[in-house]
Amino acid sequence: MDRPRIRIFDTTLRDGEQSPGCSMNVQEKLRLAQQLDRLGVDVIEAGFPFASDGDFEAVQRIAASVRRPIIAGLARACTPDIDRAWQALKVAAHPRIHVFLATSDIHLKYKLRITREQCLAQAREAVRYAKSLCADIQFSPEDATRTDVPFLWQVLEAVIAAGATTVNIPDTVGYSMPEEYGQLIRTLREKVAGIEKVTISTHCHNDLGLAVANSLAGVQNGARQVECTINGIGERAGNASLEEIAMAMRVRPDRYAYEHGIASEQLYSSSQMLAEITGVPVQPNKAITGRNAFAHEAGIHQDGVLKNPLTYEIMTPQSVGVPDSRLVLGKHSGRHALGLRCQQLGHDFERRELDEVYRRFVVLADRIKRVQDSHLLELIHDVNHGKIAAQKFPPAAAVPVGFARAASANAGTHASAAAGAHESHAMTIPASASPIPGAISFAEHHTEQEDYLWGV
């Protein structure tokens, strides 16, 4: 009942926006911030006000209009940055200044060209100054995971004494391993004077694909805030993905007995909104929010999911806002799945009619890899009118795999609702390596029993 609560700090609008191709204008940032509010994040890092007038305006407008969450603005450890951040943030209901300064020797020597002593003094002074303006101060020792650990303790003790209320431990370069990152958080809790008065935060990059694992290791060792982004966007390989962090805790409370405030049914629409705003599509196999995250193509999987979703699904699509799982119709699909999709498209076939639809479907699937609702509707139409469907379709190389709005509108079902959201990201699939359609006879490969033997 009294499980520790993890604060979700979303930095899609700051770190995320720094990723190539992901810049957003003020209106877009405002729209996304409103969605992040609906999603239930605790902190929105709205931007880096000193960086540009656009960033300043975005932070200010978000601070003025999004009132529930804490609104954070980033600032380097210097007076002009902190002043600019405060100017943008002071209208917020819950403002936070986020001050950062690199602490690793490599950053001190080559980037900042200051000594450790200068770094320590600058961090302390910056936090003290920020605290004179705003009660809620977060400090980040940039490149913390490559910082000499006793020096990191010293810096953290200094900024806590100067008034920091959250200390964030960035794995700026995505270099840490989960045990190592967890151990670092544990050591800080044990060694840093005053750490029990502040919140420890994680900020992990995904250069080795470990951002989520590292963040969770941090939480298990005492971190109570996780910095993350929608779709995991961010510098280089990105940040820890918000949706993965949130659902790991929801799906495995036996391992991660923590609470958080994310309204998980808003995850899919948040992901889609970001993709739509930036024009950067979500990778199809992205956990939680990718197009294929709840798709089952293999016949045996489809059959299992139709009988009981728990056979192949560890969470329901509805729980993350995908209306339902989408059974992908490809050449490995069985009659059962095809019949159901036809029903959802408004066509309830008798067994013999369905056999005919299935026969033509298999010939088509051999050519175009993935059969969309729009294709299926044409095929059904042709079967109903006795035409040879397969001849109508273009060669595989040119077949778009975007989803058709017409099919979505007709169906009103799970598949189409989810598909509709993807249609702006249509793309073309490569030519199928399949041999000439029909070279292997239907009877040889598509008896009903075979439906359940493929794709295990």
**What minimum distance in Å lies between the beta carbon of 190 and Zn ion?**
26
**What minimum distance in Å lies between the beta carbon of 16 and Zn ion?**
9
Binding range to Zn ion, per CB under 5 A, among 8-16, 41-49, 282-290, 302-310: 8-16
Nearer to Zn ion, 174 or 321 (CB): 174
Nearer to Zn ion, 138 or 333 (CB): 138
Number of residue whose CB is nearest Zn ion: 15
* Residue 373 found at the interface with Zn ion (CB under 5 A): no
The count of residues in the chain is 456
**What minimum distance in Å lies between the beta carbon of 15 and Zn ion?**
4
Would you call 273 exposed, middle or buried from its count of C-beta atoms within 10 A (0-12, 13-18, 19+)? buried
DSSP for 309-374? GGGT-SS-GGGGT-SS-EE-EETT--HHHHHHHHHHTT----HHHHHHHHHHHHHHHHHHSEE-HH
**What minimum distance in Å lies between the beta carbon of 280 and Zn ion?**
18
- Here the tokens at position 332 are 């490995």
Sign of CA dihedral 220, 226, 227, 228: positive
Under rule CB under 5 A, which residues in 309-338 are in contact with Zn ion? none
Nearer to Zn ion, 11 or 408 (CB): 11
Give which of 271, 68, 33 is closest to 24, Cα–Cα: 33
DSSP for 112-140? I---HHHHHHHHHHHHHHHHHH-S-EEEE
336 in Cβ contact with 302 (< 8 Å): yes
**What minimum distance in Å lies between the beta carbon of 23 and Zn ion?**
16
Nearer to Zn ion, 15 or 42 (CB): 15
**205 strand-pairing partners:** 239
Give which of 325, 337, 349 is closest to 448, Cα–Cα: 337
Under rule CB under 5 A, which residues in 81-120 are in contact with Zn ion? none
Binding range to Zn ion, per CB under 5 A, among 10-18, 87-95, 187-195, 392-400: 10-18
Report the relative pairing of strands 137-142 and 166-171 from DSSP bridges.
Answer: parallel
Binding range to Zn ion, per CB under 5 A, among 7-15, 22-30, 58-66, 124-132: 7-15
Separation of first and last alpha carbons in the chain: 40
Nearer to Zn ion, 181 or 268 (CB): 181
CA atoms within 13 A on the CB side of 383: 22
Nearer to Zn ion, 15 or 45 (CB): 15
**What minimum distance in Å lies between the beta carbon of 145 and Zn ion?**
12
Nearer to Zn ion, 238 or 317 (CB): 238
- Kindly state the number of chain residues that form the binding site for Zn ion, as judged by CB under 5 A: 1
Helices 242-251 and 211-220 meet at what angle, rounded to 10?
A: 50
Give which of 25, 76, 75 is closest to 55, Cα–Cα: 25
Give which of 239, 195, 231, 197 is closest to 215, Cα–Cα: 239
Task: Classify residue 77 by its DSSP letter.
Answer: S
Under rule CB under 5 A, which residues in 14-33 are in contact with Zn ion? 15
**What minimum distance in Å lies between the beta carbon of 317 and Zn ion?**
30
Nearer to Zn ion, 15 or 244 (CB): 15
**What minimum distance in Å lies between the beta carbon of 235 and Zn ion?**
5
**What minimum distance in Å lies between the beta carbon of 432 and Zn ion?**
41
**What minimum distance in Å lies between the beta carbon of 11 and Zn ion?**
7
**What minimum distance in Å lies between the beta carbon of 384 and Zn ion?**
56
Region of residue 44 (phi > 0: left; psi between -120 and 50: alpha; otherwise: beta): beta
User: In 36-55, which positions are buried (b, 16+ CB within 10 angstroms) versus exposed (e)?
Assistant: bbebbbbbbbbbbbbbeeeb
Binding range to Zn ion, per CB under 5 A, among 13-21, 71-79, 129-137, 288-296: 13-21
Nearer to Zn ion, 15 or 17 (CB): 15
Nearer to Zn ion, 126 or 204 (CB): 204
Nearer to Zn ion, 15 or 366 (CB): 15
How many Å apart are CA 380 and CA 369, to the nearest integer?
Answer: 18
Binding range to Zn ion, per CB under 5 A, among 12-20, 140-148, 373-381, 387-395: 12-20
225 in Cβ contact with 202 (< 8 Å): yes
Under rule CB under 5 A, which residues in 253-282 are in contact with Zn ion? none
Contact residues for Zn ion, defined by CB under 5 A:
15
